[in-house]
Amino acid sequence: MQISEDVCHAVILADSRGNYARGLPNVGPNNVIVYRCNHERAGYFCSREERQIEFKTLDHEHFMREALREAELAGLAGETPIGAVVVHDGRIIGRGRARHVERHSEIAHAELNALLEAENYIRDHIHAGVVLYTTVEPCVMCLGAVVMSDVDHIVFALADCNIHPEQMLEMPYVRRHIRDYLGGILAAESRELFRRFRPQEIMFFESNATS
Ligand SMILES: [Zn+2]
């Protein structure tokens, strides 16, 4: 572990692979804020391989059904039927659903709302292996929020025809954070919610999902 960068009065640590540390800022001597590396605090470096093993053991359909439940609640409330959950260590740490109408906001996306609910937990705990489950492929805004939130796995149901993940995931900034990008989990169920609540919007999503 080495000190790699000084920004104002903050010290940011980075590991040998160039991954910046994040965590609760601790006020040290002379009011210098030290961002303590979560990996270092845990006493080990969370390698890609360790994260992959943890990710593979998760029951993706189970958590996607939880996201679909949020999506249905959104649809029943007159919102776009999109839901999301954030999962760590096999349990849900954040839930969200679209709330555009309720909040009069175009950016009140399900993923963003789920990430905001999980934010404190992620900041206070070891964050390796955090997964976002969402019923629709995340937009550019939400993908950025995923990166900023230290989520490293994304699982979605319906693919968005306007999204070109092969382009987004090639961006070094994104590629450094996103370890897995898995789509098609319960896509038909997500599509059914659009058929039920927003049939006019179904054209925006993949056409090959079974109905
Ligand atoms: Zn979004």
Q: How far is the CA of 79 from the centre of ligand 1 (A)?
A: 14
CA of 110 to the centre of ligand 1 (A): 7
User: Residue 130 and residue 86: Cα distance in Å, rounded?
Assistant: 7
Query: Which pLDDT score is estimated for 207?
Result: 53
Active site (catalytic) residues = 111
The maximal CA–CA distance of the chain, rounded, in angstroms, is 62
- Going from the Cα of 62 to the center of ligand 1, the distance in angstroms, rounded, reads 22
Give this prediction's pTM.
Answer: 0.73
- Give the mean pLDDT per block of 10 residues along the chain (211 residues): 33 37 36 34 38 73 97 98 94 96 95 95 77 94 90 90 75 81 92 95 67 43
DSSP 48: H
3-state secondary structure of 131: strand
CA of 45 to the centre of ligand 1 (A): 31
